[in-house]
Amino acid sequence: MNRIALVTGANKGLGLETARQLAAEGAKVLMASRSAERGQAAVQTLKGEGLDVEFVQLEVTNDAQVDALVQHIDSTYGKLDVLVNNAGIMHSGEPGGVNSAGVVTAEVLRETFDVNFFGLVHITQKLLPLLEKSEAGKIINVSSILGSSTVQSDESSPWSGIKPFAYNASKAAVNSFTVHLAAALKDTNIKVNSAHPGWVKTDLGGQNAPLEAPEGAKTSVELASADFTGKFVHHGEEIAW
């Protein structure tokens, strides 16, 4: 059986391109989207390119949908080889270009963490039994260099001035989960890493970003074949936590 991969938030942007590249390498890719209409349209696009993909419904904060997806993968494929936790948000209530630590609301923090962190942790934990059935399971948590406390505290870094607190803190939490889960699974067949895709032209990254989606997806795709664990990586180079 080919590798079975699940990409969350796969109907557009980085998720769509990650699904495309993994499928082009021969994986069967389950493309998860909270919107059935947009998800089905994305699947049809890749099927039109001759790729082996399947639409699955998933809102990462919806426990019933998470459980249904886990049951579907178990009954249909019996394993999961690659999990790309790509789904994430930059909350519309948080200005991206300023330091929001003193003004961001509890509501914005909770909603950001629900998607970017709590939902990611929950679905990963639910899928661990299926990843354990893979000969070489891979978990890729799509993070951001904005979640690097080392970078954020370095005033000489060009990234340090970008401080939307809810978003950055949620990605720092994702990185902490990567470190902890990699350690918990160090004696298993599962590798866990964080990916910084770069500043990419997406709905989140905006049109001023220097990278196109195919370039941004490369790190996640590379990590789907990595033989190391517990690292924060961009294009093969390690980033400080």
Q: Which positions are catalytic?
A: 167, 171
Q: d(Cα 227, Cα 44) in Å, to the nearest integer?
A: 32
- Compute the CA torsion angle 38, 128, 136, 214 (nearest 10 deg): 20
Q: What is the C-alpha to C-alpha distance for residues 207 and 88, in angstroms, rounded to an integer?
A: 18
Asked if 71 contacts 91 with a C-beta cutoff of 8 angstroms, the reply is no
Task: Give the distance, in angstroms, between the CA of residue 176 and the centroid of all CA atoms in the same chain.
Answer: 14
- d(C-alpha 225, C-alpha 220), whole Å: 9
- Contact between residue 165 and residue 94 where contact means Cβ atoms under 8 Å apart: yes
| Amino acid letter, 166 | A
Please check whether residue 20 is in contact with residue 44, taking contact to mean a CB–CB distance below 8 angstroms: no
Distance, in Å, from the CA atom of 183 to the CA atom of 152, rounded to the nearest integer, reads: 25
